[in-house]
Structure 1
Amino acid sequence: MAQSDELGSLREAREAAQARDQERLQSFLEDQDGLEAALEEARAAHESAEEEQAALEAQQAEQSEQAQALAQRQEEQGEALTSLLADLARHSEEIRNELGGDSWLTLEADALPPRLNDVDVLERSQIEAVVDSLATLTVNTGRAERLELPVADASGDIASHSVVRLGDFAAFTESALLRKGQDEESSLAEVPRTPTAISDLLAAYHQGESREFAIDPTQGSVLEALAQQPTLWERFQQGGYVGYVVVVLGGIGLLVALAQYIYLLTVSARVRRQRQNLDQPSKDNPLGRVLERFKEMDKHQTPEALEARLDEAVLAELPKIERGQPIVKLLAAIAPLLGLLGTVTGMIVTFQAITVFGTGDPQLMAGGISQALVTTVLGLVTAVPLLFAQTALSSRSRFITQVIEGEASATLADHLEAQSTLSGQTVN
């Protein structure tokens, strides 16, 4: 029963498809214009395909003729011209590789000889182009030329500048040397931090005021090393935190020493005026205060008691006179020790870099070595002026102290002699 149902369904589906085909055929027969349009369209497509096939066959025939002509010309050239083509191609490529990236002779467009690697048949024009380019490069090696070229400054802005090219040695603007980019297409760029002495020579040469010029025979290696030399501020920054501490302490010590030395100079001037008028002591200087203190003492005391009191007055003035010297002396002793601390810290950083990266790249160790050396230098540079300052303070304060002690002893001696003379006259 089920099989008969399936057969009935297939028969109905086939009959339905035949009915649809009959309807479509009937519609085409009834629509004669649509049938003709479809036939015309098919004919046009067939004609277009035939035309395209004919064009392709013609192109193939033309290419075959060209290949035969090239083969015939190669046979005519023989081995000599083929060898010449190979030699020219090799030399041209070598010159392009040698001068393409670093040479100043390639600043103009098409300065290098043409590539001949893809040339099958050597032409006369190609030989002339190679010879002309080589002759031009040879002539330019001994010429000084002024060119208008785009140049990138230190900030990256590109502008047209007047560039002087000296053969294959150097190219420069009015204020800076130039370097080429990483590829042939990049513009020129100013060498960062051109040395001042060289900049002056460039300006004079560029303006025609001088014919002197500094040439680096190493093709830029020496100038690059000079440009990489750090400034005083950059070298100071290489010292790190230890270097900052050393310089700050040194500055504090010098300020203390300067303030105290100015005070001692003022005291010296006042003591000098006081020595010219010992009978009228003034309280604006230590000698005057000592003399005033002696005048207020009880003169009926024993000489030993008077001397002790006078020494006490002198000792009371010493702290102000010797003020600041211990601090300056301490900082002068600490500065080299801090420099040594920075040296040890820098070496630790260096050894850590060696442990991690090995010794293949010295630049990885440069930071630690710079810190080690710079902090030592900063410590010594700080300690030397502090030692000079401490010596100057000590000498000046010792001189003032000796003057005060001498005048005080002389005053006491005069008083004792006067009392002895007075006692002798009383006895007589």
Structure 2
Amino acid sequence: MKLKVCLSLCLLSLTPPVMAENSQTSLVNQAQSAQQQERQHNRVREKSFQETEQTLRAEAKRLQKAKADLQTEIDSLTSQFSHNESALAKQEEQLRLETGSLGEIFGVVRQNAKTLKSDLSHSITQIDRQTYTPVVDDIVAAKSLPSLKQLNGLWQSMNEQIRASGEVTQVKVPYVNDSGVKSTEAAARLGSFGLISAQGYMNWDDNKQIAFPYLKQPDDSPTLSSIAPLLAGQTQPLVIDPSKGTLLAQLANVPTLLDRLKAGGVVGNIILGLLAIGLVIAILRGISLAMIKQKIKAQLKAPQQPGNNPLGRVLSVYDKEKNRSVEALELRLLEVVVDEQSHLEKGLSMLKLLAALAPMLGLLGTVTGMIETFQVITQFGNGDPKVMAGGISMALITTVLGLVAAMPMLLAHNILSSQAESIRTILEKQGIGLVAAQAENDQVSKDDLEHAA
């Protein structure tokens, strides 16, 4: 507005006097009109400002009142919270005094419920004798004192398991055979110890709720038909697994004789080969010496008829060498006895060598197995004993095989040597007797010649 007035004044100064006067009048009117409009506009603005100020003051009063109300409410709640805390502490103390040892009782009850739940989850009585399992689960999951109904259910569940452990009842169980075919099989539940089917003991899987056969049954495994007297209520002695299946499952891990022999490896096979050779030699030589001994006994009964046996050959030499001197006869008989002794002891030196070689091979297998074990430890560490089992098995099995092979061969060598020595003694005695008889004959002949002279 002021800019317009200034412009008007400038134009007025530039116009002629008459025109300047008219223009001046016009500008004055315009200025007055503008001032009037400005005053009116200012009044409107002032009125608006006043209304806004009143509104803000009213809002400020309202907010101050709300703040005061909130502060009053905060003070009230703080006081109430402190009062509640104090009251709660007093009530908790009163509860502790009133419950007394109920907290400890709850701990004992819950602990026993957890133990019972663990036993129930792995017991075969879940097939037909676990009526109160939900009550036990509720006690385990509870955060407060158990009710009288729950305590009664816990006792009844324990009592049910006690009775079930002494029962022999026939049940129907889902069964998967060796071929993987699923069916429903009749079985007998021996308390909480095991299940018996027509084939023997059954392994119960508590997670899958299904039974399947053990990989290996014990030698005296009962069957459903063999325990018929028990099912009829009669008394019958029965071998059971007190570990509830653990020992029966371990039967599959017990190695057989063939498994143990395979664990010996190449060295073990060599030792077994030496044992077989030694036993063949021992058997053949034993049969041969027994036959020779029988022939010698028969020859002793008929010394005038020499046969095809060591003693017969000694007697044959005596018959051929009668005309020789005693010394010559003695040497010839000694030669025959030595020859017969070499035939009698044939194979015994080899048997003795095999008996001495078997333990040495066992020691070799032991060293080889330990080397293999240390190599495995170097590669995989010693955290898993199964990784080292192969080398340790070889080390132990070869030692056992070496000793087992050496003992019978050594015993056979001793027995056969004794038999050969016995036969040689008979031959020597008979030879000495023949030499003595020849010496006596020579002495008699000499005496007769002297007497005749």
Q: Which residue of 1 aligns with 2:227?
A: 205
- Aligned-pair Cα RMSD in Å: 3.6
Q: Which residue of 1 aligns with 2:359?
A: 336
Q: Which residue of 1 aligns with 2:201?
A: 177
Q: Which residue of 2 aligns with 1:352?
A: 375
Shift in CA distance, 253/156, structure 1 to aligned 2, threshold 3 Å: farther
1:280: Cα distance to partner?
A: 1.8
Q: Does 1:234 align with 2:263?
A: no
Shift in CA distance, 339/101, structure 1 to aligned 2, threshold 3 Å: farther
TM-score between both structures, scaled by the size of structure 1: 0.66
1:49-128 to structure 2, matched below 5 A, reads: 98=118, 102-107=122-127, 113=134
1:412: Cα distance to partner?
A: 1.8
Q: How many residues align?
A: 327
1:189: Cα distance to partner?
A: 1.1
Q: Which residue of 1 aligns with 2:176?
A: 152
1:207: Cα distance to partner?
A: 5.0
2:440 counterpart SS class: helix
1:252: Cα distance to partner?
A: 1.5
1:101: Cα distance to partner?
A: 5.6
Q: Does 1:222 align with 2:243?
A: no
**Letter of the aligned partner of 1:314 in structure 2?**
V
1:164 counterpart SS class: strand
Q: Does 1:423 align with 2:443?
A: no
1:94: Cα distance to partner?
A: 6.7
Q: Is the 8 A contact 1:201 1:212 kept in 2?
A: no
Q: Which stretches in structure 1 are left out of the alignment for 5+ residues?
A: 1-89, 117-127
Shift in CA distance, 182/168, structure 1 to aligned 2, threshold 3 Å: closer
1:227: Cα distance to partner?
A: 4.5
Once residues 223 and 395 of structure 2 are traced to their aligned partners in structure 1, the CA distance between those partners, rounded to angstroms, is 36
The sequence identity of aligned pairs, in percent, is: 34
Q: Which residue of 2 aligns with 1:139?
A: 160
Shift in CA distance, 318/132, structure 1 to aligned 2, threshold 3 Å: same
1:214: Cα distance to partner?
A: 3.9
Q: Which stretches in structure 2 are left out of the alignment for 5+ residues?
A: 1-109, 139-148
Q: Which residue of 1 aligns with 2:215?
A: 192
**Letter of the aligned partner of 1:315 in structure 2?**
V
Q: Residue 308 of structure 1: which of 296, 314, 331 is its match?
A: 331
Q: Is the 8 A contact 1:151 1:160 kept in 2?
A: yes
Q: Which residue of 2 aligns with 1:280?
A: 305
Q: Which residue of 2 aligns with 1:52?
A: none
> Which range moves more in the overlay, 267-276 or 137-146?
137-146
TM-score between both structures, scaled by the size of structure 2: 0.63
1:231: Cα distance to partner?
A: 2.3
Per-residue CA distance 1:360-389 (angstroms, 9 max, x = gap): 222222222222212211111111111111
Shift in CA distance, 110/395, structure 1 to aligned 2, threshold 3 Å: closer
Q: Which residue of 1 aligns with 2:392?
A: 369
Q: Residue 323 of structure 1: which of 327, 346, 366 is its match?
A: 346
1:200: Cα distance to partner?
A: 3.9
Q: Which residue of 1 aligns with 2:323?
A: 299
Q: Is the 8 A contact 1:100 1:184 kept in 2?
A: no
**Letter of the aligned partner of 1:292 in structure 2?**
S
Shift in CA distance, 194/132, structure 1 to aligned 2, threshold 3 Å: same
1:308 counterpart SS class: helix
Q: Is the 8 A contact 2:370 2:395 kept in 1?
A: yes
